[in-house]
Amino acid sequence: MANKATQLAYVQAYEYIRDRILSGELERGTKLVEERLAEEMGISRTPVRDSIRKLEQEGLIKEKRVVNPSDMDLRHVFQVRILLEGFAARHCATYITEESLERLNHCVEIGSMGTSEEVMAANKEFHEIIVGVTNNPVMIDIIDRMQSIIYLFRKTVVYQKRPMLIEEHQGIYEAIRQNDADEAEKLMKEHLYKDLEFCLNRM
């Protein structure tokens, strides 16, 4: 029970700090004080400290000060993501299991009819399944270190309803289902590039 409570406090702290940075409420250069944040949230300092460490890995905090990534920073992060997830989609087209394929299809279905919160979760799971199929811990770790930036983009494309978002997921799914590695890689790269351009034009 204690471990579950600790994990919940960590998630609460992480999302609270991340969202305040991404919304601009915590401005660039703001020094983060663990005691103050813990008091605001009514939790201990440990999950706050762990959250700050995670956000440092993700590039939103440096030396306990807020860093707001520039357009070029965002572009650089997404260039890496496009390369990795393009490879992952190619790999999936050959090695994905029936169970994972069914989960991908379920994500596409939710994307077509779910609420914004459900679409957010399905979008996240869709990409995580594809990366996870690689069973490459280095790739998974690199993607994990981009989570705040990925979340910012996901929130923008879902809530601002980027055209053809779900149709592109459908196309990637179909290419993987048909074992078409070239097409799966091409469609994933195009999909993420469109996410990037859409978001940079609205931030």
Calpha distance 126→104 (Å, rounded): 6
The verdict on 52 and 103 lying in the same domain is no
The verdict on 96 and 180 lying in the same domain is yes
- Which residue did the predictor score with more confidence, 187 or 62? 187
pLDDT value, residue 2: 53
Domain carrying residue 31 = 2-66
pLDDT value, residue 1: 39
Mean pLDDT is lowest, of 87-101, 138-152, 181-195, for 138-152
Task: List the CATH number of the domain containing 160.
Answer: 1.20.120.530
pLDDT tens digits along 169-182: 999 999 999 999 99
pLDDT tens digits along 120-139: 999 999 999 999 999 999 99
The verdict on 164 and 130 lying in the same domain is yes
The verdict on 75 and 61 lying in the same domain is no
The number of folded domains in the chain is 2
pLDDT tens digits along 4-57: 878 899 999 999 999 998 888 888 889 999 999 999 999 999 999 999 999 999
The verdict on 125 and 162 lying in the same domain is yes
Task: List the CATH number of the domain containing 58.
Answer: 1.10.10.10
The verdict on 37 and 83 lying in the same domain is no
Residue 115 has pLDDT above 60, yes or no: yes
pLDDT tens digits along 62-89: 889 998 778 898 899 899 999 999 999 9
Domain boundary among 66, 85, 106: 66
